[in-house]
Amino acid sequence: MESPLRSVPEATVEEADVAESALSFAEFYDANFQRIFTTLCLVTGNRHEAEEIAQDAFLRMFERWDRVGAFDDPTGYLFRVSMNVFRNRHRRASLAVRRALSLAPVTDDLAAVETHDEVVRLLRTLSPPQRAAVLLTALLDYSAEDAGEMLGIRASSVRSLTTRARAQMKQEVVDPHE
């Protein structure tokens, strides 16, 4: 009975000559890494980015080495792949910046002034102890204990003052004419 598996055909003389004359990927890498890295450093202005792009380009070449290694001079292909990787990274980065800028809130200086004036107006309606408690805890981020020490009162008194002050300010905002 004959085996269903066929043997691997022998390489022709022409294919054997090409295989012997073609560089291995490791030899190609050793011969070209420094040149492409230096070029990318000059293009990107950043040695870390240049190294990442060079590694990415060599990885893409390695994945296609069976075809690319047979080129007369695969160095040109390496430079082209490197520049394509650089352009793609640059394009993605600029797109991300544009998206981030478009998502950023629009600052309205007039609205900020109006909000500031409203807060000052609301604080003026409070008693001095309430105002001090709110300023120390809500605006300056002190704990009730620290605010109590500064004001010479207990922490529970600070919490009580801020609770009453917030309720009063909320009432002013909801029913400003009462």
129: domain CATH number?
Answer: 1.10.10.10
Within-domain flag for 3: no
Q: Report percent pLDDT > 70 for the chain.
A: 79
Residues 98 and 116 in one domain: no
Which residues form the domain of 133?
A: 109-174
Within-domain flag for 5: no
pLDDT score of 108 = 66
Q: Is 40 helix (H, G, I), strand (E, B) or coil?
A: helix
Give pLDDT tens digits for 66-75.
Answer: 999 998 889 9
Residues 93 and 116 in one domain: no
